[in-house]
Every structure is written in structure tokens, then in C-alpha cells.
Chains A and B, each alone.
Chain A
Amino acid sequence: MTALLELREVTKIYSGGVFRRRTTVALDRVSLSIGTEKPTITAIAGESGSGKTTMGMLFLGFLPPTSGEILYKGKDLWAASKEEWRVFRREVQAIFQDPFEVYNPFYKVDHVLTMPIVRFHLANSRQGQQEMIEKALIDVGLRPEETLGRYPHQLSGGQRQRITVARALLLQPKLIIADEPVSMVDASLRATILQSLRKLNQELGISILYITHDLATAYHICENIMVLYQGSVAEAGDVETVIKNPQHPYTRLLVGSIAWPDPRHKWGQEVAEYRGETLTQKTAGCKFAPRCPRAKPICRESPPPLYQTNHTRAAACYLYEDNPILAGHEIGRVLSQ
């Protein structure tokens, strides 16, 4: 079966600077595919600079890959026809992080909802359009009369973010790329929005790519997780397996740093022996080697491949070199598809 959308060994390099070409490798040979059978919620977790947002942009077709391929229903997206791109636009949507930036200050908030309906001819009459919008707003816990007809600055961050979720409800795409959808929203509203995302997945069969730095919410809502470190996959697999028993040293550091909102589950000591922020020299081998307390000589020479440690997890670390090697694009094997 061909995946809906797949990144295959994709690398993205940003180059800047007029005289000296300063290049930064945002993504380094990463693969991930979103299946069509079972709608899944997959978390792309990592700190700032890990390349998770770049990955989202690649999936959305906003950025061409430097190398590797982006396959839409098996065909190279960037070679697709204009018509195919229209269908792609309809089937792959996004929810962005900043509820203030998503609205054009010149228009009322309705503009964000009416635009896709008109462009994609989702409703046959103005009456039908109004009904669709009101139903979507109610589904995300907003009262239409309190929300429509207002300008963006007249609504709270939480209300605005729920409107963008309603927008996704309207379009009923096959895949939503949610880039940090709740990081700028208060705790009380965070749950409501995550609830709506789960509803999109379970009731409407929409797959979701949940890009975040907050592993606690990822643990709560996602089934699969892929942890990125400086553009490479550190660990991937079932979220409960990875969070409850992280194997890759970086994932252990990340999970150990989660501030669980539970006084009984205090921060342990294990994080203490990681070296703090060091000047990141470029090493040939594993990118985490300079900070890794258990780095071996081989770690500094060549980048570790993915080792499949059990049927629902793979980690790119020489500590597990006695496990079978998993090729980059076969990562789907450890993720429930």
C-alpha cells in the first residue's frame, strides 16, 4: 500500500551569507511516512534547532528538499501537476503555533473560515457555508455569536487557536501538521484543544503530525513518537515504550528533564551527570557525542545507524549495536501505521 505522504531520506540545508556560504544542516537524511489505513497521531519531538519545524514545512510542501524525496501517494510531490497540487493542498492542512500570527489583522476572523470554503467550493450556497462554519465552531467549544464578526485582536489566544482547529474540521483533510498547537495557550484551554485534535483523529479519521518540544502532552495524545536531535533521528517508536523507558542517552536526558506536574514524581538525579551546554563542535560521528556521558570512541567517528531494539522502538545509538539495523525509510516498522 502506498503511504499518503512520505519523506524518504530527506536532507534540508539552509545556506545564507553573501561572501562566506554559512550553511546549516536543518535535517539530515530523515524518513517518515504517514499511512492511509489507520489514522495515527505521530509526535515529532525535539528542542529548538532540532529540525522539527523544518520537517513540518517539508510535509506541507512549503520547502523543497535539498536531497531525498517527498512522495505524495507514491509520486514525487515536487514533480506533480498543478491539479495534483490542488488536491494535495486540500488533503494536507496545518495548525500553527502562534494564534496571533495566523489572522490577517485587516479582516474579521470569519475570513480564515470563509476563504477555504470558497476556494475549495465546499458549500453550494451562502446559507450552507454559514451552517458549516457554525457547526465547526460548536464542535470546538465556541459559541458562533460570540466569535464571528469580530476582529482578531478582540478575541483571546485560546479562542483564536480553536478557530484554526475549526478551520481544519471544515476542510476534513487526510493529514494535519500541527506545529506546537498548544505551546502558546494557557493550561486550562490546552486540554480543550488537545481534545479537539483527538476528536479529529478518532471521529474524522484524520492523521495528525504533532510537532512539539513538550513531551508531557505528546505522551498524552500521540501513539507514535520520533525524537530529533540536531536534524537526525535519535529514537522513534511507540510513545509509551519510549517515554516510560527511554534508551537513547539524549531521550533519557529529555525525558528526565520533563517537569511532571506531580509532587510525588520529583526530578531524579540521573540528569546530573550530563555535561551542560558545550560549544557544539562539528563531530564526524554521533551529534550527541560531545554531551553524552556514555560516549564510546566509535561514537565520535561515524554516525550511528538505527538499531531496532524491540518491535515497537528503534534508537540510533551504538549502545544497542547488537540489535538488527533498521534502514532509514523502514522506520515505519516500529511505528503503528
Chain B
Amino acid sequence: MRFFRYLRRNKRLAAGIAILTFLFLFATLGRLIAPPARAYPLAVPANKPPSLEYPFGTDSQGRDLLATIVMGTYLTVRIGVLAGIIGLAVGTFLGFTAAYYGGALDTIVRWAVDVLLTVPGLLVLVVIAALIQRTLNPTSLSLVLALLAWMGPTRTVRSQVLSLRERAFVRIAQLSGEGNLEIIFRELFPNLLPYLGASLVGSVTGAIFASLGLEQLGLGAMREPTLGMTIYWVQYYGAFIRGLWWWILEPVAVIVLIFMGLFFLSAGLDEFANPRVRRVA
């Protein structure tokens, strides 16, 4: 299949896809081995090191860490993906209309993006989360994150559409009787796919980073076993001093894998979008 041949050439994309597929399998098949119910406190005896019975060991609150990490991976990635998709959808719409129709709308969008990108997203999130802290669950957390995930895609889409709009093939499309909507969806959209892909991965990475950040500051979905909360409890219960090494390293390992997978995926997509950069791999 042509796609696999391309993967051999674009090693980064291959690495990204491989890591994320592994995580996907881990999060889905894992649930069969370690049902989510064991990911909540007092489900299993506490502080057990990894053993045959508890492959990932257990934590001080009596959670089976395998179930916790499996559930955590699913929840954290879902938060990121949900926020990223919403961000991308809003960003694509705003980016397209601002760039294609231009005028006042374009200036407003451009200024809004410039301003909001200067303001670090996490700080605003801290304020929001601190105020509505009690009611946060993973879904509402991802909605909050989505509030600040749309600026990146808006800027990428807008700059791409601005450059594509001037291209001669758009003129030829107009000369062939194509209306604005046809041009947007038949001519411009397909060329944007690699950029949309890379920008989606960017927003998902940003959203996951923000969710971990909030949970580190104790503002996440306190009752859910997301990866960020596991890290929070690791510090809260002083896992270091009590030598519960598995409780520390397991969530860290998975988080590192998630971010590396996303990074290689976005690097691979960039390469796909402009192959010239690859020349000196």
C-alpha cells in the first residue's frame, strides 16, 4: 500500500503513529485486564509493589495502579482530544472566514489571536478552574481547555488560507465557474489537511499539557483517576519518601510516551506538509 511505503521514508510519522497506536491498545485492551472499578480508592490493598497479582502495584489509597494508569491514559487523552477538536473546529471556521472574506472581521480576529496568544493559557485557566473548582469533571475540564485551544489553529488556518487564496489555481477555479463555497471546500480545504492535522496535534498537546498543569496545581477533576491527578496524589502522599517508586515512575512513563508520540506525529505531519525541510533529516 502506498501509505506504508511513504511511512518508511517519513520515519518520524511512523514513530508517532506506532507510539499512539500502542497507547490506544493499552487504554482499550487494558480495561479488560484491569476493570475501571479498581481505579478508585479502597479497591485493593494499599502500597503493594508490582507483583503477578498487581502487575503495576497499588498506591497508598488502595487503587490498582494498572487500572488507574489505563483509565488515566484514556481520560487524559480524551480530555486533550476533545478540547483539541473543539479548538480546531472553531479555529478552522474563524481562520477560514477571516482570511477568505477579509476586511474588519479579519483585523478583529487577528488582534484577538495576537492578544490571547500572548496571555499564557494556563494562567487564565487557573483563574477559571479556581472559581468553579468543585464541579470539575473530565468533560467540563476539556470544555474549559477548549476556551483557549482555538487560537493556535485560527492563526495557522488563517495564514495558510491567505497564502492559498492568492494562488493562481484559485483564479482558474473562479474562471471555471466555481462559487466561493465550492472553492473553499474543493480547492482550499484539501490542501489544508496536512496543516489541519499538525495544528490538531498541536492543540491536543497543548490541552493535555494544560490539563496536567491544572491537576498539578490541584485544580483538575479531583475525583477522577486521570494521569495528572495520579501525579498529584504521588506528591500529596509523599511517595518519594516512602520509596513507592512504581507509583512515581508508571504515570511519568505513560505521560512521556503520550507527549513523544504526539511530538513525532506533528513533526511527521510537518514533513508531509513541506517535504523540503526533510532534506537534512
Contact = CB atoms under 8 A, between A and B. Distances in A.
Chain A partners chain B: yes
Interface of A: 60, 62, 86, 89-90, 93-94, 96, 98, 101-107, 112, 115-116, 119-120, 164, 167
B235 interface: no
B277 interface: no
Interface of B: 167-169, 171-178, 187, 190-191
A120 B172 CA distance: 14
Contact of B177 (A98, A106, A119): A119
Contacts of B173: 104, 115
Nearest 9 pairs of A and B residues by beta carbon: A119-B177, A101-B168, A106-B190, A116-B176, A115-B176, A104-B169, A96-B168, A102-B168, A119-B176
B101 to A, nearest CB: 16
22 contacts: A60-B171, A89-B177, A93-B175, A94-B171, A94-B172, A96-B171, A101-B168, A101-B169, A102-B168, A103-B169, A104-B173, A104-B187, A104-B191, A107-B190, A112-B176, A115-B173, A115-B176, A115-B177, A116-B175, A116-B176, A116-B177, A167-B172
Given A98-B168, A102-B168, A116-B176, 14 more contacts: A60-B175, A89-B177, A94-B175, A101-B167, A101-B169, A104-B173, A104-B190, A106-B190, A107-B190, A112-B169, A112-B172, A115-B176, A116-B177, A164-B172
A98 B172 CA distance: 12
A90 B172 CA distance: 12
A103 B187 CA distance: 10
A96 B176 CA distance: 14
B190 A89 contact: no
A254 to B, nearest CB: 27
A93 B190 CA distance: 25
Given A104-B191, A106-B191, A120-B177, A62 B171 contact: yes
Contacts of A89: 174-175, 177
Contacts of B175: 60, 89, 93-94, 116
Contacts of A107: 190
Contacts of A86: 177
A115 B178 contact: yes
A103 B167 CA distance: 9
Nearest to A121: B177
Nearest to B177: A119
Nearest to A117: B176
A101 B190 CA distance: 16
A98 B166 CA distance: 13
A93 B172 CA distance: 9
Among B168, B174, B176, B191, the most chain A Cβ lie within 10 Å of the Cβ of: B176
Contacts of B172: 94, 96, 102, 112, 164, 167
A62 B173 CA distance: 12
Among B168, B173, B175, B187, the most chain A Cβ lie within 10 Å of the Cβ of: B175
A96 B177 CA distance: 17
Contacts of A119: 176-178
